[in-house]
Chains A and B, each alone.
Chain A
Amino acid sequence: MIHNNLGTAYWNLAQQETPQEWLQLAIDAYQIALRYRTLQAAPPAFAATQNNLGTAYWHLASHTSENPEQRRNYLQKAIYAYETTLMAVQQIAQTQPLPLAFDPIATHNNLGLAHYQFATDAQIPLEPEDRSLHLKAALDQHLTALQGWQERPELYQTVFNNVLQTIRTLYEHEGLAGQNFAFSKVPSHLLPEIMTRL
């Protein structure tokens, strides 16, 4: 039995397709889909595949520990795909409201996390102004998600923690100016709780 388990483990090791390879295949398929699922031809389908593409790039970035330059590239692509998703969602809402196959509030939260990761990756060289822009974008997205998930206590708590984390990081890098900027963006009724938990 032990030998059998061992055999299976060695076999799996030899057969190993890495998560990176699967994610790259996922990205290829999504990109082919997007040639036909355009914003004009099928708005909600376009938005859904852009959202999938964002998540695939984001996960690929987190599997790319050994190559910071590539990780930076994947994170930028994740950010771009999520932004495109939200642009499409906005356009759908304005023109002809159609049901979506995904929760765009989660896209706001994930976009915030991608910005945050970009800003705080120690191996990605970044000018202070660029870091500041990414941290502020992260805060903005997390606050939007916080607003959207007011009726979803568990998700709300998760985003609330993301907001706190982003404010702490703004303080670390930019001192009181960074913290004050954050406080000016937070809805005033949330300030007391945020201040006690920082």
Chain B
Amino acid sequence: MVQNNLGSAYADLARYQDPIENLQESIRAYQQTLRFRNPEIDPLRYASTQNNLGTAYWNLAQHQQPEVYLKQAIALTLKRCNITTQSKNH
């Protein structure tokens, strides 16, 4: 099944480059696969794709920057060009 293999390929690629984008592509491909897999006819293949989908979501959770880091990144960028969030209001 091409879409399922595509999902795995993106998931593999995510280990080397642009993890968030490739994981999102991988999730899209797995979701596409699930539309065409019938759990009543081929339960184990259907389950295997659900398992892979779960692992892609799990990986995305590892890469997602918590909000606090993003706020720190913003504060640091502003500091580098001598801007504070307060002075922007004037």
Chain A interface residues (CB < 8 Å from chain B): 2, 5-6, 9-10, 12-13, 16-20, 22-23, 25-30, 32-37, 41-42, 45, 48-49, 52-53, 55-56, 59, 63
Contacts and interface: CB of A to CB of B under 8 A. Distances in A.
Contacts of A56: 54, 58
Given A41-B44, A59-B61, 13 more contacts: A6-B74, A6-B77, A12-B70, A13-B70, A16-B64, A16-B67, A17-B60, A32-B47, A36-B50, A42-B47, A45-B51, A52-B51, A52-B58
Interface in B34-90: 39, 43-44, 46-48, 50-51, 53-55, 57-58, 60-62, 64-67, 70-71, 73-74, 77-78, 80-81
Nearest to A30: B54
Contact of B53 (A5, A6, A29, A59): A29
B44 A36 contact: yes
A29 B67 contact: no
Shortest beta-carbon contacts, A-B, top 7: A29-B54, A22-B61, A36-B43, A26-B57, A33-B50, A36-B47, A19-B61
Kindly name the residue among B39, B48, B55, B58 whose own CB sees the greatest number of chain A CB atoms within 10 A: B58
A83 B44 CA distance: 23
Given A13-B71, A19-B61, A27 B46 contact: no
Contacts of B55: 26, 52
A33 B61 contact: no
B14 to A, nearest CB: 13
A20 to B, nearest CB: 8
Interface of B: 39, 43-44, 46-48, 50-51, 53-55, 57-58, 60-62, 64-67, 70-71, 73-74, 77-78, 80-81
B77 A5 contact: yes
B81 A2 contact: yes
Contacts of B47: 32-37, 42, 45, 49
B48 A9 contact: no
A10 B53 CA distance: 28
19 contacts: A2-B81, A9-B70, A12-B65, A13-B74, A17-B60, A19-B61, A19-B64, A25-B54, A30-B50, A33-B48, A36-B44, A36-B46, A41-B43, A41-B44, A42-B47, A45-B47, A45-B51, A49-B51, A59-B58
A16 B70 CA distance: 10
A19 B58 CA distance: 8
Contacts of A35: 39, 47
A2 B60 contact: no
